[in-house]
């Protein structure tokens, strides 16, 4: 009798212990996390870019986790967890940050903000996957903001989800030529010491506008922290161009626009740099920027884009053409991780990184906030875009080329 009681008690105890282990096992499974590292400029004059990227990343990861997280190779679900680092828009800091990320459990790095960081940073990644003689870092880096053309080809571990400015401005100048056939000439203004703005004028706007039939009459140059644009705008005024294309970031764009107003330089049309289609420009010089046309790969015009904008606002940031790319990146990564079957346990970091890289490299098309995004063999994106213009202190949609 006692024996049978003991047996039953033992059985119950065994069941309890078993259930406990099972529960613990489930708990362990539920506690698995996929470590994501974000990095960008959160100090210095481009601090707002890093803040926006972090806010959008946080919002996107929150959305993924709310939907159950990421399905791992063993069928369990794992939550995404974000760590965000400040690279100060400085190449040395950026490289240092990436080395720290590479030494952590993060399976992918999302960033950086600045092209002058991205270019050298991609250089410390292994150039060709599987090259035993190359001791470069082996972690996929997926860039949301650094936009200077053609950087992803530096390494097979580098990927970008930034707009293709060459295509955007080619199409924009073609569209302007159709809409305003009376305009014949273009004059450029360029912030000469910033990688992105310099590249976009010299290699994009200046080359794409003649393809649409425009004559480039000249260019004025200034530096990122210049304070006096009198001479440059006077040169601009002398040229009497129909279109003035300003390839500069918000601070100097505003300085130049205010000087243009002062000197009564009134071109028929103003074209701006993609990075200036932000609140910074409107905050600095909404009145003078009125009418400026900028191609952008983000506007809250779809349900997904609105959700991204709301999530960014909830995390005290703003979704714009740069930061919104981070939302798309998180969603792309979730799909790639699930398709590639990552393990997300402590021992599988290197293998998971390789799986994610391979998955990203094989992508041909992904979903984006404005529509389908094409992926190139060089790790770049070809994103849908819109033309916006400044109107009464807001960015309003001027034209959707896909329509």
Partner 1 sequence: MDWLDFFQSITDGLLFGSIYALIGIGFTLIFGVMHKINLAYGAASIAGAYVSIAVAAYVPLPALVTFLIAAIASGGIAFLIYLANFRFIPLASPLATLMATVGMLILIDEIVVHATDGMPQPYPALFADIYIEWGDFGLRGDLIFIFVLSLIAMVVLMFMLYRTRLGIATRAVAQQPVAAQLAGISLDRTNALTFVITGLLGGLAGAMIGASVGVLSPLLVVPITVKGLIVCVIGGLGSIPGAIIAGLAVGAFENFFLAFRGVTERDMYVMLLLFVFLVFRPGGIFSRSVARD
Residue 189 as a binder of partner 1 (CB under 8 A): the answer is no
First to last CA, the chain: 84
Nearer to partner 1, 232 or 274 (CB): 232
Choose the stretch contacting partner 1; rule: CB under 8 A; options: 39-47, 177-185, 205-213, 323-331: 39-47
179: Cβ contacts below 8 Å, ≥ 6 apart: none
Choose the stretch contacting partner 1; rule: CB under 8 A; options: 41-49, 103-111, 297-305, 307-315: 41-49
Choose the stretch contacting partner 1; rule: CB under 8 A; options: 116-124, 250-258, 302-310, 319-327: 250-258
Distance CA 327, CA 104 (A): 23
Nearer to partner 1, 288 or 340 (CB): 288
Residue 261 as a binder of partner 1 (CB under 8 A): the answer is yes
Q: Which of 250, 267, 300, 379 binds partner 1 (CB under 8 A)?
A: 250
Q: Which of 34, 36, 51, 146 binds partner 1 (CB under 8 A)?
A: 51
Which has the closest alpha carbon to 200: 275, 277, 118, 143?
275
Three-state SS at 72 = coil
Residue 230 as a binder of partner 1 (CB under 8 A): the answer is yes
CB of 257 to partner 1, least distance (A): 9
Residue 48 as a binder of partner 1 (CB under 8 A): the answer is yes
Residue 43 as a binder of partner 1 (CB under 8 A): the answer is yes
Residue 225 as a binder of partner 1 (CB under 8 A): the answer is yes
Q: Which of 285, 289, 293, 363 binds partner 1 (CB under 8 A)?
A: 285
Per DSSP, which regions of 313-355 are E strands?
none
Q: Which of 222, 298, 327, 387 binds partner 1 (CB under 8 A)?
A: 222
How far is CA 392 from each of CA 271, 275, 366, rounded to the nearest angstrom?
Answer: 17, 19, 35
Report the site for partner 1 in 317-346 (rule: CB under 8 A): none
Q: Which of 20, 24, 25, 283 binds partner 1 (CB under 8 A)?
A: 283
Residue 7: phi, psi to the nearest 5?
Answer: -60, -45
Choose the stretch contacting partner 1; rule: CB under 8 A; options: 37-45, 166-174, 300-308, 367-375: 37-45
Residue 203 as a binder of partner 1 (CB under 8 A): the answer is no
Nearer to partner 1, 142 or 229 (CB): 229
Q: To 10 degrees, the CA torsion angle through 310, 166, 247, 313? A: 10
How far is CA 297 from each of CA 156, 274, 381, 401, rounded to the nearest angstrom?
Answer: 24, 9, 11, 11
Sheet holding 243-247, edge to edge: 215-222, 185-191, 243-247, 269-272, 293-296, 386-391, 394-399
Distance CA 262, CA 251 (A): 17
Three-state SS at 353 = helix
Q: Which of 115, 185, 209, 232 binds partner 1 (CB under 8 A)?
A: 232
Choose the stretch contacting partner 1; rule: CB under 8 A; options: 29-37, 46-54, 328-336, 361-369: 46-54
Tell me if 326 sits within 8 A of 110, measured CB to CB.
yes
Nearer to partner 1, 198 or 357 (CB): 198
Distance CA 294, CA 247 (A): 10
Q: Which residues bind partner 1 (CB under 8 A)?
A: 43-48, 51, 192, 221-228, 230-232, 234, 250-251, 254-255, 258, 261-264, 279-280, 283-285
């Amino acid at each position: 009798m006692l024996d049978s009681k003991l047996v039953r008690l033992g059985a119950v105890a065994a069941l309890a212990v078993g259930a406990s282990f099972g529960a613990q096992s489930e708990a362990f499974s539920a506690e698995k996390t996929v470590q994501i590292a974000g990095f960008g400029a959160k100090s210095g004059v481009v601090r707002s870019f890093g803040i926006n990227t972090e806010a959008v990343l946080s919002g996107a990861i929150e959305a993924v986790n709310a939907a159950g997280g990421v399905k791992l190779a063993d069928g369990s679900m794992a939550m995404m967890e974000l760590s965000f680092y400040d690279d100060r828009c400085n190449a040395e800091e950026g490289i240092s940050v990436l080395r720290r990320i590479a030494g952590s459990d993060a399976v992918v790095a999302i960033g950086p903000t600045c092209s002058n960081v991205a270019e050298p940073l991609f250089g410390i990644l292994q150039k060709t996957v599987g090259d035993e003689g190359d001791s470069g870092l082996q972690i996929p880096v997926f860039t949301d903001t650094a936009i200077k053309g053609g950087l992803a080809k530096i390494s097979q571990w580098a990927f970008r989800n930034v707009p293709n400015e060459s295509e955007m401005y080619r199409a924009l100048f073609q569209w302007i030529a159709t809409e305003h056939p009376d305009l014949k000439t273009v004059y450029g203004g360029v912030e000469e010491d910033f990688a992105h703005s310099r590249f976009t004028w010299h290699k994009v706007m200046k080359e794409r506008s003649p393809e649409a039939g425009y004559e480039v009459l000249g260019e004025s140059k200034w530096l990122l922290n210049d304070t006096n644009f009198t001479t440059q705008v006077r040169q601009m005024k002398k040229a009497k161009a129909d279109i003035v294309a300003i390839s500069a970031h918000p601070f100097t764009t505003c300085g130049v626009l205010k000087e243009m107003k002062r000197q009564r330089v009134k071109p028929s049309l103003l074209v701006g740099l993609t990075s200036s289609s932000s609140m910074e420009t409107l905050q600095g010089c909404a009145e003078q920027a009125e009418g400026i046309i900028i191609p952008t790969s983000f506007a809250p015009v779809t349900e997904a884009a609105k959700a991204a904008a709301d999530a960014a606002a909830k995390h005290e940031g703003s979704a714009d053409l740069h930061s919104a790319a981070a939302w798309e990146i998180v969603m792309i990564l979730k799909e790639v991780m699930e398709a590639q079957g990552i393990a997300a346990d402590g021992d599988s970091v290197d293998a998971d990184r390789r799986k994610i890289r391979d998955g990203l490299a094989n992508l041909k098309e992904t979903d984006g906030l404005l529509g389908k995004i094409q992926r190139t063999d060089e790790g770049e994106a070809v994103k849908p875009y819109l033309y916006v213009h400044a109107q009464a202190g807001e960015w309003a949609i001027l034209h959707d080329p896909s329509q």
